[in-house]
Structure 1
């Protein structure tokens, strides 16, 4: 399958690119700075800015599925330790901007324009109302929703736009993520009971996103939780 990955230079985006290539897919990595992406077999890079729908439409042209890994800018890098990464993510969630609320509708418009029907959006477990989680984890999600209300609002607008679209979408709500070796030992599925604060490697989240785009037909037009 030919997959476009938007936000390919981010923590999850890099791992999604790696995982899709490992599985033999052809990958189009879309980023504002595609020149920083290392070359690889079956990998092409294209310039795209989610605040410019026309640039995204050009970038995803000819692909069969799109995986969006965009989110509040946190300047994550693989050489960061997890404490530093967590601080950056927290800062980004306090001041998320509008990358999701503006970017996702532009991606949807680009998919329509380019004729791409399958869209997978990375989101967060904090968008859940917690009804599928344990009592303690439901309380944790509720607390995080109150603390990071700006990020929840921004992502909520994005999720609603995806749900209202006529695409074959999947929204993947991930737990807290960390830099660590992937294990492929994770829980994923609609209403899956996960632990929101038990950190999941970026690589495992990436595997779930690739599955959502390529091999999980029962997930179409569903919200999927992924975590431990």
Structure 2
């Protein structure tokens, strides 16, 4: 399968690229600064900016699925990278005929109903602290849900740089501890699964954590 990864230089994006290649997929890595991505077998590197809709369509052309790992570097000053970038990615998918889109999001977009009482409180506190970032992501999620694509939204717990185990909890309404850090590589594995083989997840919101 040929997968476009948008935001391939970020914490999750790099691991998604590595995991997809490890599983034998062909990868198109899309980034604003493609020169920082080292070459590899079955890897195509393209420049792309999510604020540039025509350029994004060109960057993801001729792929079978798109995984968006874009996000703001600051939860306190998120800007509009999600609320403006995701609609441009959706439009690019429509222009190029790509049906499968996976969007990385965060568990703090959940209302917490699937979590324990303690974890529901933790998510509630995160929503209050990071309300600007949540508003930006909420607009992006709404745009994805309203689209006609075969989308999957993956809401991840807190992420960390650590060796992955590929042992994690995932699925629609999956229960886990949102403040228990999940290695980036485990989140990446879930995103690749969503793009390539989990047909039951299509047009659903999936949680991933520990």
Bin of the TM-score, shorter chain as denominator length:
over 0.9
> Which ranges in structure 1 are unaligned for 5 or more consecutive residues?
74-91
Give the 4+ runs in structure 1 shifted more than 4 A.
none
Q: RMSD between aligned alpha carbons? A: 0.4
User: What is the Cα deviation at residue 194 of structure 1?
Assistant: 1.1
SS, match of residue 75 in structure 2: helix
Structure 2 residue runs without a partner (length 5+): none
Matched, 1:199 2:177: no
* Residues paired across the two proteins, number: 210
Aligned to 1:137: 119
Give 1:155's match in structure 2, choosing from 122, 130, 137. 137
Q: How does 1:61-140 map to 2 (within 5 A)?
A: 61-73=61-73, 92-140=74-122
Per the normalisation by structure 2, the TM-score is 1.00
Deviation at 1:20, TM superposition (A): 0.1
**Cα distance per residue 1:24-69 (max 9 Å; x no partner):** 0000000000111010000010010000011110000000000000
The equivalences for 1:25-44 within 5 A come to 25-44=25-44
| Cα displacement (A) at 1:114 | 0.8
Question: Could you say what secondary structure the match of 1:94 adopts?
Answer: coil
In structure 1, what is the Cα distance between the partners aligned to 2:153 and 2:106? 9
- TM-score, normalised relative to structure 1: 0.92
